[in-house]
Amino acid sequence: VVGPRQSINLLHLRPFTLHSNHYHRGHSTNRVEYRAAATITSERERARTVAAYYNQPAVEAAAKKKSVRLTPSAILYHGRSEDEATILRSAQYLQKEMPVRVAKRIIAFRDLPFIVGCNPIILGVHELYLRAFNILNNFPAINTKEDEVSYSQKLSELLEDHQDVVTQLASGFRECRRHIHNEELVARFLDKTLTSRLGIRMLVQHHLSLRENKPNYVGIINVGMKLKEVIERSCQFVSRVASHKYGRVPLLKLSGHVNAVFPYIELPLDYILPEILKNAVRATVESHSEIEVMHLPPIHITIASNEIDFIIRISDRGGGIPHHLTKRALEYNFTTANDGATSSPPAFSGTSSPEGVFSNMMEAVNPNPVGGPMHGFGFGLPTSRAYAEYMGGSLEVQAMQGIGTDVYLRLKHINSPGASFSSFRI
Ligand code: ADP
Ligand code: COI
């Protein structure tokens, strides 16, 4: 039986490179003997690696348990007193909940088609989750403040270790595109994996933020979130990136309910908004020639907030999305980022260079709290839509071919009198 320690050690092994590594590392003068020894070692290691994937009874047991999801309104009203007892209880809840959620992710990796699951990058993420499971599942019971402190330390390390999971998945799936016969199955895997991950990260961030006791926040919930400020933050970021990349940026104009203030979680907005704005800016710049720099049409951002939900519409005049591509724009790994023109045929990332229009810059300055850079991977729209739906909302893209694109992001308020009491669970 492969125990947790072994599977942690296996993290950096790539099963498909084991053989070649062993052949090239030694200094034996006796080639035959060396080869024989190398073969035995590598076979033993391969057997251990393989066992690490399917000999995990603890994962299976945990994955069968039901996940206990929290409603933000419950968090808001029950988690207000950030005293030691609340924080200890919060850590104890996570200690029960995290292995269940992480185990369900591992099972999903196992269920991928063989050739996809074997991709070294995807396998690397699978290993990352196995490692996280073993760390979390073997953590001793949390009874004291000291226990809680060391558990929280582990959690923040894990957040950091998993920082690039979205980018890794984006590049892994791009690599094995040609082996994917059932697009629907992969899209379902990614929707589920990415949204569960968002939920896991929100829970962990919530716990860690509770300890910080920031004024105006209950954990990750900003009790008086000024939507305008959140949008402006994304606008500034995208403008900075675009100005570096293109040397010109369209104006981003905000109107509507610009004074809207309500409790909400910034984390998903800080992911979704830059993705949509980046697309609008790119389309605007690329559909207008250099001499039109003074006349780049502005991007209009309109906010509406009502009793039930809030809506953000982002309208650009970047020419729209050609009819034959409108559906595909929301597919994972669909991008036109490499051919530099939205009207060109689709450049599926499986056959094109990894350099998206924004990729280099984004890697340098990306403040993305949910994942690393993922531009030019064709992950922005589908991931944003999945996140919006996970948060009880929607993301719709309306193209006016020849003119521009309107994107509508609708999200339910955490606790609206007009809606059912809990609009979503994390
Ligand atoms: P990426 O930005 O990495 O290409 P996305 O999923 O964000 O990935 O977008 C997928 C594709 O949809 C883009 O490459 C582009 O062709 C098209 N698209 C998205 N938003 C717009 C827009 N506002 N105007 C024109 N085309 C767009
Ligand atoms: C992720 O970010 O992929 C996670 O699931 C984080 C968790 C292991 C702390």
pLDDT in tens, 208-225: 999 988 889 999 999 999
Best residue among 279, 344, 374, 400 to mutate for probing ligand 1's pocket (most ligand atoms within 8 Å of CB) is 279
The DSSP result for 361-380, as a single string, is HHHHH---SSSS--TTTT-H
Ligand 2 site, residue 272, Cβ cutoff 6 A: no
> What pLDDT is recorded for position 11?
39
Considering only CA atoms, which of 223, 312, 326, 300 is closest in space to residue 273?
A: 312
Tell me: the pLDDT tens digits for 65-75?
999 888 887 77
Closest residue to atom 5 of ligand 2, CA basis: 197
Q: Is the dihedral of CA 321, 322, 326, 327 positive or negative?
A: negative
Looking at all shown ligands, the one closest to residue 386's CA atom is 1
For residue 343, the Cα-to-chain-centroid distance in whole angstroms is 28
> What pLDDT is recorded for position 50?
67
Choose the weakest-confidence range: 27-36, 59-68, 209-218, 392-401: 27-36
d(CA 46, CA 368): 36
Closest residue to atom 3 of ligand 2, CA basis: 162
Output the average pLDDT for the chain: 82
What does the buried/exposed string (b/e) look like for 214-224 if buried means 16 or more CB atoms within 10 Å of the residue's CB? eeebbbbbbee
Closest residue to atom 26 of ligand 1, CA basis: 321
Return the CA Rg of the chain.
Answer: 24
CA of 128 to the centre of ligand 2 (A): 9
Looking at all shown ligands, the one closest to residue 195's CA atom is 2
CA of 175 to the centre of ligand 2 (A): 23
Looking at all shown ligands, the one closest to residue 171's CA atom is 1
* Ligand 1 atom, smallest distance to 275 CA: 7
Residue 384 has pLDDT above 50, yes or no: yes
User: Which of the pair, 55 or 216, is modelled with greater confidence?
Assistant: 216
Complex prediction ipTM: 0.98
Average pLDDT on 226-254 reads 94
Closest residue to atom 1 of ligand 2, CA basis: 162
Looking at all shown ligands, the one closest to residue 160's CA atom is 2
Residue 30 has pLDDT above 60, yes or no: no
The answer to whether the CB of 151 falls within 8 A of the CB of 95 is yes
Q: Is the dihedral of CA 118, 122, 124, 125 positive or negative?
A: negative
Best residue among 11, 122, 162, 190 to mutate for probing ligand 2's pocket (most ligand atoms within 8 Å of CB) is 162
- Highest-confidence segment of 50-59, 306-315, 368-377: 306-315
Give, in order, the Cα–Cα distances in Å from 234 to each of 46, 91, 195, 241, 272: 46, 32, 21, 11, 9
> What pLDDT is recorded for position 33?
52
> What pLDDT is recorded for position 221?
93
pLDDT confidence tier of residue 79, bands split at 50, 70 and 90:
low
* Ligand 1 atom, smallest distance to 318 CA: 24
Best residue among 104, 137, 158, 374 to mutate for probing ligand 2's pocket (most ligand atoms within 8 Å of CB) is 158
Report how far apart the first and last C-alpha atoms of the chain are (Å, whole number): 34
**Pairing relationship of beta strands 299-305 and 394-400 according to DSSP bridges:** unpaired
CA of 399 to the centre of ligand 1 (A): 11
Tell me: the pLDDT tens digits for 262-314?
999 999 999 999 999 999 999 999 999 877 667 899 999 999 999 999 999 99
Ligand 1 site, residue 381, Cβ cutoff 6 A: yes
Tell me: the pLDDT tens digits for 112-157?
999 999 999 999 999 999 999 999 999 999 999 999 999 999 999 9
